[in-house]
């Protein structure tokens, strides 16, 4: 079973536009991470936001977290063709050494950026 749900499932935009995708989750978390996956490749870590943080920036990426609504958003500004990929949110609920890496992923948002 998957913890998170991304919305929308697919997004098509033109270069230079902003892309926003949302993630909702069900249970309490201690951190939420966003990953990118290019077709046929592994996942690449983009950004991590802890449960006591509300917003985080990394380059053209901006992530928000609202724990009261159990939701997060990822904004990619000034998108490029190279941003074409699937984007996944992953929640970590484990509080112990034994369980911290057990991430639960959503089904992803497929983003296509056309030149």
Query: Could you tell me where the beta strands, DSSP code E, fall in 1-115?
Result: 5-7, 10-14, 19-24, 31-37, 43-50, 55-58, 61-66, 71-76, 85-92, 103-105, 109-114
Contact letters for other proteins, residues 22-51 (x by CB under 8 A): --------xx-x-x----xxxxxx--x-x-
Among the listed residues 2, 12, 19, 29, the one whose alpha carbon sits nearest the alpha carbon of residue 77: 19
Radius of gyration of the chain (CA): 14
A 10 A CB-CB count for 74 gives 25
Contact letters for other proteins, residues 50-69 (x by CB under 8 A): x-------------------
Nearer to other proteins, 108 or 113 (CB): 108
Nearer to other proteins, 4 or 76 (CB): 4
Contact letters for other proteins, residues 81-110 (x by CB under 8 A): -------x-x-x-xx-xxxxxxxxxxxx--
Q: Which residues bind other proteins (CB under 8 A)?
A: 2, 4, 30-31, 33, 35, 40-45, 48, 50, 88, 90, 92, 94-95, 97-108
């Amino acid at each position: 079973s998957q913890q998170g749900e991304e919305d929308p499932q697919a997004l098509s935009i033109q270069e230079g536009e902003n892309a926003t995708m949302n993630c909702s989750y069900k249970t309490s978390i201690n951190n939420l991470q966003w990953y990118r996956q290019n077709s046929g490749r592994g996942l690449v870590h983009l950004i991590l936001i802890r449960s006591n943080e509300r917003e985080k920036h990394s380059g053209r990426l901006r992530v928000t977290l609202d724990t009261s609504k159990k939701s997060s958003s990822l904004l990619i500004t000034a998108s490029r063709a190279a941003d074409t990929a699937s984007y996944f949110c992953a929640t970590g609920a484990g509080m112990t050494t034994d369980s911290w890496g057990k991430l639960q992923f959503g089904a992803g948002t497929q983003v296509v950026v056309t030149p």
